[in-house]
Structure 1
Amino acid sequence: MKETEDKSPTAFLDMMWVPVQFYRSIGEDIYAHRSTNPLKTLLLKIYLYTGFINFNLLVIGELVFFFKSLQDFETIRLAIAVAPCIGFSLVSDFKQIAMTNGKKSLIRLLEDLEDMHPKTLEKQKEYKLSDFEKTMRRVINIFTFLCLAYTTTFSFYPAIKATVKYNLMGYETFDRNFGFLIWFPFDATSNNWIYWITYWDIAHGAYLAGIAFLCADLLLVVVITQICMHFNYISMRLETHPCESEKDKENKEFLIGMIRYHDKCLKLCEHVNDLYSFSLLLNFLMASMQICFIAFQVTESTVEVIIIYCIFLMTSMVQVFLVCYYGDLLIAASLKVGDAAYNQKWFQCSKSYCGMLKLLIMRSQKPASIRPPTFPPISLVTYMKVISMSYQFFALLRTTYSDN
């Protein structure tokens, strides 16, 4: 018996559901401008700003711990251990700042994409939306799992370990340790009340950093998926257009519509670059050092620390790959438009039609891309360069540490 197909079309907000809900969990409401409850909006803003003030105080504590640990060679490994967490925190912070500053641009971008989104089931089949959505869901699920696994493991492993030792293994004392290396201006382990308040404060800060880091990339995945879907649709329409010689007026109207559609997609890509360019620049600069320090911890630590840092390493590498993969996908989808235009039966059409088609092909030779400042367009080649640079830093660090 065949499974019955879902007859309801996928709304644009359905594709946005995961990043929107996770953002709301830290107080960031992307669609606050549509809210009919101003009190709820105000409370979410207070929750967001309070959380980020707390988070940045913790980051300052990590930085103080880092510089104190650099003073002595005996504690330099602790500085290396906290360095990836500082890098992750700074990238999360900068992504949230970019999101806040570019909120109007983001809203305009999402509203344009929502207007362009195919509304009926028939149209969505033409756009092959289900194929794009299926890939997008898999990517979102994998990256979300890794990112939350990293923050959860770092946050709760010390408490779980201490609880097992104290309650099940007969240890006389409960080890009051934290998952992150942070300097405090007070004794955070002096008694249970201070310890557990501080512990949950750190856990919330870690969750907020993880969500800010995660959701910016999930939004990028949703947006690039949509734009690639539109480029793919343009390519399909161009390649399958019959180009009947006796219908020159209809041919020109069709091509003018496709050119305008193509131009709108290119403008959306520029909006993405305006929103993400600087945060991606910091992301890639930090990624090489971050992967290097994490890899060093994996090679120089105990088994339990290795497992924790392996999750962190996978998260960092998958995040860089994710951005590079979607950058590569965007380049390929936009280049495909020119190939599709050339593959149609243009030789049956009028000279003026061919002239317009030539302009479309020429424009498509400069592909749409994600471009951080001073960086070439992001693609899978970028990923290989980041990994190569990380290995070079790692080899230098290992050599320097071994010589001393």
Structure 2
Amino acid sequence: MKSVQRSYENFAAVPSIVFRLMGYNVLDAPDETRTRRLVMWLYRWICTCSHVVCVGFMIFRMLEMTTIDNVSLIIRYATLVTYVINSDTKHATAMQRDSIQSLNRKLSELYPKSALERAYYRVNEHYWSRSFLAMIFFYIGSSIMVVIGPILQSIVAYFTQQQFTYQHCYPYFIYNPEQQPIWIYVGIYALEWLHSTHMVVSNIATDLWLLCFQVQICMHFSCMIRSLEEYQPNLMHERADKHFLAQMVNKHEYLVLLQNDLNGIFGGSLLLSLITTAAVLCTVSVYVLIQGLNLEGITYVVFIGTSCMQLFLVCNHGQQVLDLVNIGHAAYNHNWHNASIAYKKYLLIIIIRAQKPVELSAMGYMPISRDTFKQMMSVTYRGLAMIRQMIE
């Protein structure tokens, strides 16, 4: 039984669905009813307002300083600040709706239309793998556990110690059950939940759009290289050969432009994300070392693992661009010996243009690759060692 070849909409559905978890419809899906669109807009507005309120309280507590009275809280606030910066930067990137929709439309138009073309492009091999989708669910699940962990600890304390401890996720809300009614605690937890939803979804969904676009560009480059390697030029059909190679030159130039568009949209968030992700991993690791492996510590350990995986996926897709875009090698290695002089001149154009590498770039400061991931992990480890030494 032949497998169904995935459509472009299947690729774009994953990041689009994740963004809808916070009510944000990036692509303005036309199939939504007015009522559903209004509900989603209202939900997104509530998430955004909750995020603003929580960040405001965080800044107030940091300026007040009286409630930040131990090393553990200092490290926790450092973690929260870096994660807020990271997620808000990615959220600002995702707000470039026109640019994202434009790039999405261009890649959709370039996507192979017939089942035969899709089979030749091997679209199913580039589709989101089950392990990747499982990682996305695991990331979201671990982030949820960070939020609901405190109330689970309070419930456990109620059954083991006969006392509900009214714990919640973030330290900038102070709740006293002896002086304040229960509805304030419920309101705090609702704010924290929506605040976390805004940050987590902004963080992971923006990267998913980046990976979706990068996978498409890699798929086209891969097919282009394969087509060029398999082509057999001959003096007897010079005109057809020149037409084929002209198409290759035009497509190569167009893919380079698409990659530049991708870097223009996501380059800024990539640069700041590399810095803040290293800081988040470092501070969370220190916090876990201080707190120990209680329920909260275990959820943070899982969060560290998923955050590392998220960073690796972005860097790995950047490496794929560097590995795949060897169009110059494909032009030289294919059977051009029997081709015409004009065909060989066209080949030179491709080879010359291929000397400038196509890469996923963080605003031009550094190419994103597996080496970048190793450098970030090295920086994280050195930062962790330095903070531990300062504390001890």
Q: TM-score category by the smaller chain?
A: over 0.9
Structure 2 contact 238–339 (Cα < 8 Å) conserved? yes
For each residue in 1:113-144, what CA deviation from the matched residue of structure 2 results, as whole angstroms up to 9, or x when unmatched?
11111122211110111111154x532431x1
**1:195-241 residue CA offsets vs partner (Å, 9 max, x unmatched):** 11211221121122111111111111111111111000000100000
Change in Cα spacing, 1:86 to 1:146, as seen in structure 2 (3 Å) is farther
Closer, same or farther in 2 for the Cα pair 1:162/1:36, shift >3 Å?
Answer: closer
In structure 2, the residue matched to 1:23 is: 19
1:253 aligns with 2:246: no
Q: Distance in 2 between matches of 1:373 and 1:310?
A: 31
Of 297, 308, 331, the match for 2:299 = 308
Structure 1 residue 263: Cα displacement: 1.3
TM-score w.r.t. the length of structure 1 is 0.90
Equivalent of 1:206 in 189, 196, 201: 196
Matched, 1:318 2:309: yes
Deviation at 1:35, TM superposition (A): 5.1
Does the alignment pair 1:153 with 2:149? no
Residue type of the partner of 1:392?
R
Deviation at 1:33, TM superposition (A): 6.3
Q: Does 1:141 align with 2:138?
A: no
Partner of 1:365: 355
Paired residues of 2:153 and 2:167 also in contact (CA < 8 A): no
Q: Structure 1: how far apart are the matches of 2:156 and 2:254?
A: 58
What's the CA shift for 1:152? 1.0
Looking at structure 1, the residues matched to 116 and 43 of structure 2 have their Cα atoms a distance apart, in angstroms, of 42
Unaligned runs of 5+ in 2: none
Q: Aligned in 2, Cα 1:291/1:134: closer, same or farther, shift over 3 Å? A: closer
How far apart, in 1, do the equivalents of 2:34 and 2:103 lie?
Answer: 23
From the superposition, tell whether residues 299 and 25 of structure 1 become closer, same or farther in structure 2 (CA, over 3 Å).
closer
* Residue 293 of structure 1, CA deviation: 0.8
CA shift in 2, pair 1:329/1:67, >3 Å: farther
Equivalents in 2 of 1:287, 1:139: separation in Å?
Answer: 20
2:41 aligns with 45
Partner SS for 2:103: helix
RMSD over equivalenced CA pairs, Å: 2.1
Q: Which residue identity is paired with 1:319?
A: Q
Report if aligned partners of 2:61, 2:67 keep a CA contact under 8 Å in 1: no
Q: Which amino acid aligns with 1:95?
A: K
Q: Which residue of 2 aligns with 1:115?
A: 109
Mapped to 1, the partners of 2:27 and 2:19 lie a distance apart of 10
- The separation in 2 between residues aligned to 1:138 and 1:94, in whole angstroms, is 27
CA contact (8 A) 1:66 1:78 kept: no
| Structure 2 partner of 1:130 | 124
Contact 1:69–1:79 at 8 Å: present in 2 too?
no
Residue 49 (structure 1) shift:
2.9
Quote how far apart the aligned CAs of 1:95 are: 1.1
Q: Distance in 2 between matches of 1:247 and 1:213?
A: 53
Q: What is the identity, as a one-letter code, of the residue corresponding to 1:20?
A: S
Q: Aligned partners of 1:106 and 1:183: how far apart in 2?
A: 36
Percent identity between matched residues is 22
Higher normalized contact order (CA 8 Å, seq sep 6+, divided by chain length): 2
TM-score (norm 2): 0.93
Contact 1:243 / 1:344 at 8 angstroms: preserved in 2? no
User: One-letter code of the match for 1:57?
Assistant: V
Maintained 8 Å contact 2:79/2:283: yes
Q: CA deviation at 1:294?
A: 1.5
Distance 1:63 1:376 in 2: 32
2:2 matches 1:5? yes
Which region of structure 1 is more displaced relative to structure 2, 83-92 or 247-256?
Answer: 83-92
Q: Structure 1 counterpart of 2:225, which letter?
A: S
Alpha-carbon shift at residue 9 of structure 1 (Å): 3.2
Q: CA deviation at 1:165?
A: 2.6
How many correspondences in the alignment?
390
Following superposition, which runs of at least 4 residues in structure 1 exceed 6 angstroms of deviation? none
Q: Partners in 2 of 1:209 and 1:285 — Cα distance?
A: 17
Q: Secondary structure at the match of 1:173?
A: coil
Q: CA deviation at 1:41?
A: 3.5
State yes or no: 1:284 paired with 2:278. Answer: no
| CA–CA distance in structure 1, aligned partners of residues 378 and 369 of structure 2 | 15
**1:69 shift after superposition:** 5.4
1:97 paired residue number: 92
Deviation at 1:247, TM superposition (A): 0.9
Counterpart of 2:332? Answer: 342
Matched, 1:82 2:72: no
- Residues in 1 aligned to 2:62 and 2:289: alpha-carbon distance in whole angstroms: 20
Does structure 2 conserve the Cα–Cα contact (< 8 Å) formed by 1:288 and 1:387?
A: yes
- CA shift for structure 1 position 181: 2.1
Deviation sequence 1:292-322 (CA, Å, 0-9, x none): 1122123222211431221121122112111
Unaligned runs of 5+ in 1: none
Mapped contact 1:27–1:47 kept (Cα < 8 A): yes
Tell me by how many angstroms 1:42 deviates.
4.5
CA–CA distance in structure 2, aligned partners of residues 269 and 374 of structure 1: 12
1:312 maps to a residue whose letter is F
Aligned mates of 2:192, 2:67 — CA distance in 1: 25
Contact 1:273 1:372 in 2 (8 A): yes
State the shift of 1:391 in Å: 1.4
Is residue 173–residue 188 contact of structure 2 (8 Å, CA) maintained in 1? no
